[in-house]
A and B are shown apart, each in its own frame.
Chain A
Amino acid sequence: MTAAVLRAAGLGKKYGRRWALTDCNLEVPAGHVVGLVGPNGAGKSTLLNLSVGMLTPTAGSVEVLGAPAGKQLAKVGYVAQDTPTYSRLSVAEHLKIGAHLNPGWDHSVAERRIQSIGLDPKQRAGRLSGGQRAQLALTLGLAKRPDLLLLDEPVAALDPLARREFLQDLMEAVAEQELSVVLSSHLVSDVERACDFLIVLVDSRVQVSGEIDTLLATHYRLTGPRKDQKSMPKDQHVIAASHTDVQSTYLIRTEMPILDPAWSVSRLTLEDLVLAYMGRAAQPEQTGRPLLEVQR
């Protein structure tokens, strides 16, 4: 079945007078590893907390695995920011709690992972390194055998080696268990290899979402003699533009071939693409609507 694992319609959340998430429309198909990227304070955690039902929406709705958020908790794993653990409980006690609270708990998965990471079951969580704590939290999330695993900035606090090990283990689990993952980060480099679906969230709004392959195949940089934006073809959506007195550079999205021979056309890296959408959000006059949704 290819139902959406995450579907948001007009979703919004207000804290006091400030909107942390505004008019969010999303549809994430199953079987993807989704990168939720945006600067700090963009609303990533708010979106994830709404998805697990820890927050209630101010506007709109969010569905997870086909049911309203919070109704399918046995099938959804969530590792909150800073990979929280109980510092005074041992590794083994964490597993015991996990087994007790989760009907679908897979003890063999938990034990195998603890062994392969090299954690001492008697060790208190408070004594673990940041990387080990993240691995323990991931173990709890995976042993639950969820259909969807949500991870909020799981590698932000880790050193490069721990970061790589964490992502390796996560990807191995994705290959083994066939689960969908949503992973938030403020760094594109974290998600570049691991993810195949991207959501860019800036200033409480979704700027772009879609399969990374599709996004990369439909965005181009055009450089050439100066040309006014008004004279661009209708099927070329301008994401960013810059001009000198003789030259114009456009960053565009189009599904059609680029025919104008005056342009020299180049592809974008994922980082270029994300930065362009982030830059676009910074220009106040253009933050009207969600700018683009690419879906299959």
Chain B
Amino acid sequence: MIEFHLDGRSGVSPYQQIVQQVRNALRLGLLREGDQLPTVKDVVASLAINPNTVLKAYRELEHEGLVSARPGRGTFVTKTLTDNSLAAHGPLRQDLRRWIGKARKAGLDDESIEALFMTTFRTAAQEDIA
């Protein structure tokens, strides 16, 4: 069983935070197939959030095929996310390190590097959608 927590200042809506936390737990192997998610009642009682928020998050996870709701029993994990993409992390991180090194050499400070990364990331994401 995992426990949710909310970051009020992150700018990410509470329901998305719950979705992300389940996905992360799946990626990290904290949740496996067959594990139960906290019941809606438990989540709202511990976080003081609206039940519809939790239901919405669980519905989205269900829609993604990660969990399934069994009426009267609870919501259970049906799929893991610990896949082979983990193996790709190492080389990608190395590439990124090299790129950051280059950016530093070119005289960019931390803030500029972050801004450059985020704008490029966003533009690329937008092009993917379009």
Contact surface of A with B, Cβ cutoff 8 Å: 31-33, 164, 167-172, 174-176, 189, 192-196, 213, 216, 267, 269
Q: How far is the CA of A176 from the CA of B45 in the complex (A)?
A: 11
With contacts A192-B8, A193-B6, A193-B14 known, is A164 near B48, CB below 8 A? yes
- Contact between B51 and A216, CB atoms less than 8 A apart: no
With contacts A194-B49, A196-B50 known, is A171 near B11, CB below 8 A? no
Taking CB atoms, residues of chain A closer than 8 Å to B44 are 168, 171-172, 174-175
Q: How far is the CA of A131 from the CA of B46 in the complex (A)?
A: 18
- Contact between B13 and A172, CB atoms less than 8 A apart: no
Does more than half of chain A's interface fall in helix, strand or loop, or is it mixed? Answer: helix
Q: Which residue of A lies closest to B11 (CB)?
A: A269
- Contact between B51 and A174, CB atoms less than 8 A apart: yes
Interchain residue pairs with CB less than 8 A apart (29): A32-B52, A164-B48, A168-B45, A168-B47, A168-B48, A169-B45, A170-B48, A171-B45, A171-B47, A171-B48, A171-B49, A171-B50, A172-B41, A172-B44, A174-B50, A175-B44, A175-B45, A192-B8, A193-B8, A193-B14, A193-B48, A193-B50, A194-B48, A194-B50, A196-B50, A196-B52, A213-B13, A216-B13, A269-B11
Shortest beta-carbon distance from A241 to chain B in Å: 23
Max chain B CB contacts within 10 Å: which of A172, A175, A192, A196?
A175
Taking CB atoms, residues of chain B closer than 8 Å to A31 are 52
Taking CB atoms, residues of chain A closer than 8 Å to B40 are 175
A-B contact count (CB 8 A): 53
Proximity string of chain B (19-53) to chain A, C-beta cutoff 8 Å, 1 when within and 0 when not: 00000000000000000000011001111111111
Indicate which residue in A167, A213, A267 contacts B48 across the interface (CB closer than 8 Å).
A167
Q: Which residue of B lies closest to A164 (CB)?
A: B48
With contacts A164-B48, A193-B47 known, is A176 near B53, CB below 8 A? no
Taking CB atoms, residues of chain A closer than 8 Å to B11 are 267, 269
- Contact between B45 and A195, CB atoms less than 8 A apart: no
With contacts A193-B14, A216-B13, A269-B11 known, is A172 near B50, CB below 8 A? no
Contact surface of B with A, Cβ cutoff 8 Å: 6, 8, 11, 13-14, 40-41, 44-53
Q: How far is the CA of A283 from the CA of B46 in the complex (A)?
A: 41
Q: How far is the CA of A175 from the CA of B52 in the complex (A)?
A: 9
Shortest beta-carbon distance from B96 to chain A in Å: 26
- Contact between A176 and B52, CB atoms less than 8 A apart: no
Max chain B CB contacts within 10 Å: which of A170, A196, A267?
A196
Taking CB atoms, residues of chain A closer than 8 Å to B52 are 31-33, 196
Q: How far is the CA of A96 from the CA of B86 in the complex (A)?
A: 62
With contacts A216-B13, A269-B11 known, is A196 near B45, CB below 8 A? no
Taking CB atoms, residues of chain B closer than 8 Å to A167 are 48
Q: How far is the CA of A32 from the CA of B53 in the complex (A)?
A: 11
Q: How far is the CA of A147 from the CA of B84 in the complex (A)?
A: 50
Q: How far is the CA of A220 from the CA of B14 in the complex (A)?
A: 19
Taking CB atoms, residues of chain A closer than 8 Å to B13 are 213, 216
Given contacts A192-B8, A193-B49, 16 further A-B contacts (CB under 8 A): A33-B52, A167-B48, A168-B44, A168-B47, A171-B44, A171-B51, A172-B41, A172-B45, A175-B41, A176-B41, A193-B47, A193-B50, A194-B49, A196-B50, A216-B13, A269-B11
Max chain A CB contacts within 10 Å: which of B14, B41, B44?
B44
Taking CB atoms, residues of chain B closer than 8 Å to A196 are 50, 52-53
Q: Which residue of A lies closest to B6 (CB)?
A: A193
Taking CB atoms, residues of chain B closer than 8 Å to A194 are 48-50
Q: How far is the CA of A241 from the CA of B45 in the complex (A)?
A: 40
Q: How far is the CA of A32 from the CA of B8 in the complex (A)?
A: 21
Shortest beta-carbon distance from A95 to chain B in Å: 22
Q: Which residue of A lies closest to B51 (CB)?
A: A175
Taking CB atoms, residues of chain A closer than 8 Å to B46 are 168
Q: How far is the CA of A264 from the CA of B41 in the complex (A)?
A: 40
Q: How far is the CA of A11 from the CA of B53 in the complex (A)?
A: 31
